[in-house]
């Protein structure tokens, strides 16, 4: 599944994938979020722009909310998801999945966060990767690649390659997330030893760090940048920004890497953000926000890297990667009993199972813990 980056201005930059559901089929551009579990779409939505009506609907209660007064409520639908392999003779497979139809949205779901829905990729059993693995359709792993040109790729069943770097996943049972242990930070030639738990969250645009990690990275970065620091600006969420001249696209910056448990280094290839502050005037910002408690690695630190979320081996893997390259990974290790060489014919999602036949009351709370 290919994805592309979008957002609602300088403060939001996420990757999205196009999915088609319902009969007649309707296409949605959903945000790819490893920090959430449920796959949901806006359906007959109050407080947001509704899509054309679909035959797939039934009154099954759903409520989803998170810590920023953002919520979506509606009903659940059980339907079929079709996937294909990436090779010269693609195979197609289908999986019965449950997704939410949001009717009422509030908070950032109305703005840039996920105006067209959200594709939950979290650890919990209701996420799409979990369902695919439970049904034996793919390995219990997937990868995401975020290209520097805004194009990306998600591959279900991908366990990466033998030459990738790896570190253990610390899956917390109270708030299950893709967390790892950081044992050090490298900024240019400077190294700081520390031990902090850090969450990898593709649904967060930028990186959030608490002290001492935040101060070490930002101070080390600032001391090695050869550029004029931009004055504090309330319109910009980042503390460390630098003026760009009319001839500059970016500035020379020190490299940033995270040393992980086991010793492997995770490179932050493109951690900055160029922001237009007025016509023909730009600044380059280190896109890190100071947090009070949580450490969250956002999409900006994952740019230029294929990140493997291997839930079977409980490891996070990564490798510098060209997202257009499909030959260096092993996606969709499929079960042949559920696959076909031919494209599905007369695909009619609601005919596979009437949502009302499997209805249940359901309340979903976004699993991102409070800061």
CA atoms within 13 A of residue 198's CA, in its CB half-sphere:
29
> CA angle, corner 196, sides to 194 and 199, nearest 5?
145
| Secondary structure of 107-147 as H, E, C letters | HHHHCCCCCCCEEECCCCCCCHHHHHHHCCCCCCEEEEEEC
Q: Write out the DSSP string of 80-103.
A: EEEEE-SSSS--EEEEEEEEEEEE
Report the distance separating Cα 15 and Cα 218, nearest Å.
26
Two tokens, residue 314:
């409980």
Structure tokens at 50: 């509704």
Active site residues: 33, 201
Which of 295, 353, 16 is CA-nearest to residue 151? 16
Q: 198-224 b/e with 16+ CB inside 10 Å = b?
A: bbbbbbbbbbbbbeebbebbbebbbee
Q: What are phi and psi of 223, to 5 degrees?
A: -70, -15
Give the bridge partners for 243, in sequence order. Answer: 283
DSSP bridge partners of 96: 80
User: Prior bond to 99 cis, omega within 30?
Assistant: no
Q: Which H, E and C letters describe 26-86, residue by residue?
A: EEEEEEEECCCCCCEEEEEEECCCCCCCCCCCCCCCEEEEECCCEEEEEEEEEEEEEEECC
């Amino acid at each position: 599944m290919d994805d592309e980056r979008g957002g609602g201005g300088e403060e939001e930059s996420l990757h999205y994938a196009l999915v088609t559901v319902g009969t007649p089929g309707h296409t949605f551009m959903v945000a790819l979020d490893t920090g959430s579990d449920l796959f949901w779409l806006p359906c007959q939505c109050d407080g947001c722009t509704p899509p054309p009506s679909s035959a797939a609907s039934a009154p099954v209660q759903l409520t989803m909310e998170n810590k920023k007064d953002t919520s979506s409520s509606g009903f659940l639908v059980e339907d079929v998801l079709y996937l294909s392999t990436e090779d010269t003779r693609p195979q197609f497979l289908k999986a019965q999945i449950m997704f939410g139809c949001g009717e009422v949205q509030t908070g950032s779901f109305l703005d840039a966060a996920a105006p067209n829905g959200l594709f939950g990729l979290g650890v919990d059993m209701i996420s799409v990767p979990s369902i695919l693995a439970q049904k034996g359709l793919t390995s219990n792993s997937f990868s995401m690649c975020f290209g520097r040109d805004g194009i990306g790729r998600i591959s279900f069943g991908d366990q990466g390659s033998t030459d990738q770097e790896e570190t253990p996943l610390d899956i917390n049972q109270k708030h299950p997330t893709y967390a790892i242990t950081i044992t050090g930070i490298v900024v240019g030639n400077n190294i700081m030893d520390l031990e902090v738990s850090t969450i990898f969250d593709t649904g967060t645009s930028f990186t959030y760090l608490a002290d001492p990690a935040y101060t070490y990275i930002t101070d080390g970065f600032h001391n090695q940048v050869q550029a004029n620091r931009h004055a504090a600006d309330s319109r910009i969420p980042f503390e460390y920004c630098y003026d760009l001249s009319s001839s500059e696209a970016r500035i020379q910056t020190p490299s940033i890497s995270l040393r992980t448990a086991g010793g492997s280094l995770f490179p932050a290839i493109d951690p900055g953000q160029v922001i237009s502050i007025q016509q023909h005037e730009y600044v380059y910002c280190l896109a890190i926000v100071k947090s009070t408690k949580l450490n969250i690695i956002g999409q900006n630190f994952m740019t230029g890297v294929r990140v493997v979320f291997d839930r079977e081996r409980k490891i996070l893997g990564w490798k510098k990667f060209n997202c257009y390259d499909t030959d260096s990974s092993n996606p969709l290790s499929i079960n042949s009993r559920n696959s076909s060489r031919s494209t599905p014919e007369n695909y009619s999602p609601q005919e596979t199972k009437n949502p009302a036949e499997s209805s249940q009351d359901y309340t979903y709370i976004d699993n991102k813990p409070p800061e």
